[in-house]
Structure 1
């Protein structure tokens, strides 16, 4: 079922079809904002799709990845939605680091670029080897055309990267 929905998202001919697929994925992958055992595989597939998705799907994929990155397993009953760890999800998400940087630099879609700010920060917090690169690319983003409205988000992301130790 998930594989079919991911294929529909990847091949969505119209924005409306992509939104429908994302809503179905969201219902299957999240329960009350919590991760489930399928979250890791879905994150891996979404990162792979970034390299070939149509422009009208890009921001939807990035938003889903941001949602997965921000979600957690159930604290009171970690196994309630299957065996899943935030670290496993974040590892898969971090494999898309270079795509997030490229999209941040060159996408015409502000929603995509904004999601990439969050994802780059998340990768830098998770993976110590990406931390300095995340700081570099976000610092550089302050001067990119079209990102003027994201100044506070970029500054807050840089502050968090500089102040908080990486989780891995």
Structure 2
């Protein structure tokens, strides 16, 4: 599989390291090993589909140290660019297909969103955009989150996401 810096053969170990990271330092190092190879500044390589699949499978087993970094990577992928100047070099990938993989963990994302995780707002929004049958449920989740004190720091993000969803209809 084509990717950015280094070979994609390094990704499985980095993903495993992120999922089972014992410390924030370990999680951060694994995060950057994935980010620098699979995606750069939101530009996705063809390796991102496999990365997404592995992160989604590993998320329920992830240790606390790596969870937020996994959410950050998935949010970056969900909002990433699948058509860009580097496609000939790093291959292409479908953001839509990656997001549809993410919906398998929708309950985890909703739980984290209710705890105030901004990355999960982005993931849940993109799941509803790429899977229209989820829109009603996601609007309900966002509306509920607006009244949740844990979500106070991300109210603007939630409100803007609601506007985006309603404009898609």
TM-score by structure 1 length?
A: 0.87
Q: Is the 8 A contact 1:135 1:158 kept in 2?
A: yes
The residue aligned with 1:145 is: 149
C-alpha distance in 1, partners of 2:86/2:25? 36
**In the alignment, is residue 85 of structure 1 matched against residue 108 of structure 2?**
no
The residue aligned with 2:133 is: 129
Runs ≥4 in structure 1, deviation > 4 angstroms?
Answer: none
Unpaired segments ≥5 residues, structure 2: 1-9
C-alpha distance in 2, partners of 1:140/1:64? 25
Which residue, 143, 161, 164 being the options, matches 2:165? 161
TM-score by structure 2 length?
A: 0.87
SS of the aligned residue for 1:84 comes to coil
Which residue, 32, 40, 46 being the options, matches 2:55? 46
Q: Is the 8 A contact 1:100 1:119 kept in 2?
A: yes
**In the alignment, is residue 116 of structure 1 matched against residue 134 of structure 2?**
no
How many residues are paired up?
160
Q: Is the 8 A contact 1:9 1:57 kept in 2?
A: yes
C-alpha distance in 1, partners of 2:111/2:87? 35
CA displacement 1:2-58 (0-9 Å, x = unmatched): 111111111211110110000010001014431111101111111222212112211
Equivalent residues in 2 for 1:31-70 (5 A)?
A: 31-70=40-79
**In the alignment, is residue 20 of structure 1 matched against residue 29 of structure 2?**
yes
Unpaired segments ≥5 residues, structure 1: none
Q: Which has the higher helix share?
A: 2
Q: Is the 8 A contact 1:141 1:147 kept in 2?
A: yes
Q: CA RMSD in A?
A: 1.6
